[in-house]
């Protein structure tokens, strides 16, 4: 199969044989993913802060010795 026929068949498949979600459903999914991404990023940042503070305090104990 040559590349031109492959591209034509691909466009035909995408335009006539696929079921696409509605715009509203796509927007809802996008918002859901964005919210969970932000929440996950905040959780990772909080865990990083806790570990960094703990390690700073731990190694700070040895500075004064």
pLDDT digits (tens, 9 = 90+) for 5-57: 999 999 999 888 888 899 999 999 999 999 999 999 999 999 999 999 999 99
The per-residue pLDDT for 37 is: 98
Q: Would the pLDDT of 64 be above 80? A: no
- Report d(CA 55, CA 61) in Å as an integer: 10
User: When comparing pLDDT for 61 and 28, which is higher?
Assistant: 28
Please state the pTM of the whole predicted model: 0.64
Gyration radius of the chain over CA positions: 25
């Amino acid at each position: 199969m040559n590349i031109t026929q492959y591209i034509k068949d691909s466009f035909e498949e995408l335009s006539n044989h696929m079921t696409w979600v509605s715009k509203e459903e796509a927007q809802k999914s996008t918002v859901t993913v964005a919210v969970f991404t932000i929440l996950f990023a905040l959780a990772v940042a909080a865990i990083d802060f806790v570990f960094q503070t703990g390690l700073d305090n731990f190694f700070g104990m040895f500075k004064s010795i």
